[in-house]
């Protein structure tokens, strides 16, 4: 294997075009994108023409069998387990967007396949590669009396954030019978994961927990470790409220859907007795938009207070993520966002559903046994 990895991309949707294909092209010294797969042949072929990709497929199985890949990037809507396992079995390194899969059992199979084949399995949690994340961790090392963690996400429509980008759309959609089959398979997998066929719970689990809130869960776990308990969770049609406990530190999570305002914002606040640290992320669909770290402090017993607002860098976290994956494959660098890490997030998402249904606290909600 040369240092320039031959990579195939599965999925040519919005995030592929806005971020991954764009940065893979910028990282031409690291990656040679040799194949692109999408259920829509038009979407695959038109994007391949834009990005200079020589091979296109509508079947990921055929791409794995024929494209002679070193690595694969999985960006599809369904569970990523079947693709990741097949790629690992073929000796191909795997970078998979979150969620890595739909259930803990699938995640175990993905990890086992990668370990058996001796390939890298990395889950793409992009916020972990933001320079502001590193700066927050540096500042938290000096905090001795953490009393509260508060996570707030204001979800909003993403279309206005990408309307200025000339996205390629497939003129011919995939055959309806194929789409219906995939929907049925996904529903069955999701139902098995949460033990229910309830439409509301399935939508909440798939579209809120796995597609969005999993970022927040992974982020706070990476800072504080595994939660001791999930004390409370309420899932509503418009949002989620929950409380996790990390030792004596409560973590309050609020996720709210705001379809009437394009003003996405995600805040992670770490509140100690002598200062407050708040890391705020803009829309993940904006290239090179920086996160901001606000640090507030004061003097005990006095009215004097201060605060700073830091912009760590305009460097793309998506690009840094791709560079890290390349280092893991070519240099043996330890993976930051491992399969085990992603598996515990899946377990926590399943615990959120269970906690909402039972209205009971759940101890060790990230356990994967």
Q: For the chain, which residues make up each domain, given as ranges?
A: 5-126+320-335, 128-317+345-363
Torsion of CA 10, 12, 18, 21, to 10 degrees: 50
Residue whose C-alpha is closest to residue 46's, from 72, 12, 8 = 12
Strand residue runs (E) in the chain: 5-10, 31-37, 55-57, 71-74, 93-97, 121-124, 146-155, 229-236, 239-246, 249-257, 265-272, 275-281, 292-298, 305-311, 362-363
C-alpha 302/C-alpha 116 separation (Å) is 60
Q: Which residues of 66-89 are buried (b: 16+ CB within 10 A; e: fewer)?
A: ebebbbbbbbbebbbbbbbbbbbe
- Supply φ then ψ for residue 6, to 5 degrees: -80, 115
Give 217's DSSP letter.
Answer: H
* Strand residues in 105-247 grouped as ranges (E): 121-124, 146-155, 229-236, 239-246
pTM for this predicted structure: 0.96
In whole angstroms, how large is the CA radius of gyration of the chain? 21
Strands (E), 16-172: 31-37, 55-57, 71-74, 93-97, 121-124, 146-155
> In sequence order, which residues have a C-beta less than 8 Å from that of residue 191 and are 6 or more positions away?
197, 202
Contact 145, 273 (CB under 8 A): yes
> What secondary structure letter does DSSP report for 64?
H
Domain 5-126+320-335 CATH superfamily: NAD(P)-binding Rossmann-like Domain (3.40.50.720)
> Tokens 């049925």 sit at which residue?
184
Model pLDDT, residue 171: 66
Number of H helices, E strands in the chain: 13, 15
Helix axis angle for 81-89 and 104-117, nearest 10°, is: 10
Q: How many CB atoms lie within 10 A of CB 52?
A: 9
Around Cβ 272, how many Cβ atoms within 10 Å? 17
For residue 309, list its beta bridge partners: 294
CATH architecture classification, 128-317+345-363: 2-Layer Sandwich (3.30)
pLDDT per residue as tens, the chain (369 positions): 459 999 999 999 999 999 999 999 999 999 999 999 999 999 999 999 999 999 999 999 999 999 999 999 999 999 999 999 999 999 999 999 999 999 999 999 999 999 999 999 999 999 999 999 999 999 999 999 999 999 999 999 999 999 999 898 766 778 889 899 999 999 999 999 999 999 999 999 999 999 999 999 999 999 999 999 999 999 999 999 999 999 999 999 999 999 999 999 999 999 999 999 999 999 999 999 999 999 999 888 889 999 999 998 999 999 999 999 999 999 999 999 999 999 999 999 999 999 999 999 999 999 998
Domains 5-126+320-335 and 128-317+345-363 share a fold: no
Q: Compute the distance between CA of residue 14 and CA of residue 56 in angstroms, rounded to an integer.
A: 17
In angstroms, the CA 159 to CA 89 distance is 37
Query: DSSP letters along 278-321, please?
Result: EEEE--TTSTTPPPEEEEEEE-TTSS-EEEEEEE---S-HHHHH
How many Å separate Cα 103 from the centre of its chain? 15
For 290, other C-beta atoms within 10 Å of its C-beta total: 20
Query: What is the DSSP code string of 317-334?
Result: HHHHHHHHHHHHHHH-PP
Count CB-CB contacts under 10 A for residue 7. 27
Could you tell me if 80 and 69 are in contact, meaning their C-beta atoms sit under 8 angstroms apart? no
Provide the sign of the torsion angle of the four alpha carbons 89, 219, 26, 327, taken in this order: negative
Distance CA 202, CA 144 (A): 40
């Amino acid at each position: 294997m040369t240092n320039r990895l031959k990579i195939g991309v599965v999925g040519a949707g919005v995030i592929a075009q806005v971020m991954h294909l764009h940065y893979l092209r910028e990282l031409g010294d690291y990656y040679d994108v040799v194949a692109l797969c999408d259920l829509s042949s038009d979407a695959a072929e038109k994007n391949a023409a834009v990005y200079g990709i020589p091979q296109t497929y509508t079947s990921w199985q055929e791409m794995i069998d024929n494209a002679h890949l070193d690595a694969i990037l999985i960006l599809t809507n369904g569970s990523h387990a079947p693709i990741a396992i097949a790629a690992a079995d073929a000796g191909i390194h795997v970078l998979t967007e979150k969620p890595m899969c739909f259930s803990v059992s699938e995640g175990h199979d993905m990890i086992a396949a990668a370990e058996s084949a001796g390939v890298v399995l990395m889950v793409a949690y992009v916020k972990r590669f933001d320079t502001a994340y590193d700066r927050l961790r540096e500042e938290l090392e000096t905090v001795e009396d953490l009393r509260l963690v508060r996570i707030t996400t204001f979800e909003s429509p993403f279309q206005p954030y990408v309307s200025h980008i000339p996205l390629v759309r497939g003129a011919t959609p995939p055959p309806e019978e194929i789409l219906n089959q995939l929907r049925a398979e996904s529903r069955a997998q999701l139902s098995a994961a949460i033990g229910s066929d309830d439409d509301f719970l399935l939508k909440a689990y798939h579209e809120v927990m796995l597609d969005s809130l999993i970022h927040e869960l992974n982020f706070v776990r990476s800072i504080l470790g595994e939660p001791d308990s999930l004390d409370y969770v309420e899932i509503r049609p418009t949002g989620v409220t929950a409380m996790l406990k990390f030792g004596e530190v409560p973590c309050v999570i609020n996720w709210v859907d705001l379809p009437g305002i394009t003003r996405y914002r995600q805040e992670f606040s770490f509140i100690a007795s002598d200062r407050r640290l708040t890391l705020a992320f803009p829309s993940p669909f904006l290239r090179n938009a920086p996160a901001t770290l606000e640090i507030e402090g004061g003097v005990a017993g006095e009215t004097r207070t201060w605060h700073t607002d830091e912009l760590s860098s305009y460097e793309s976290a998506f690009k840094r993520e791709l560079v890290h994956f390349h280092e893991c494959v070519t240099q043996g660098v330890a993976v930051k966002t491992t399969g085990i890490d992603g598996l515990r997030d899946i377990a926590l998402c399943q615990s959120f559903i269970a906690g909402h249904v039972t209205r009971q606290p759940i101890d060790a909600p990230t356990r994967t046994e």
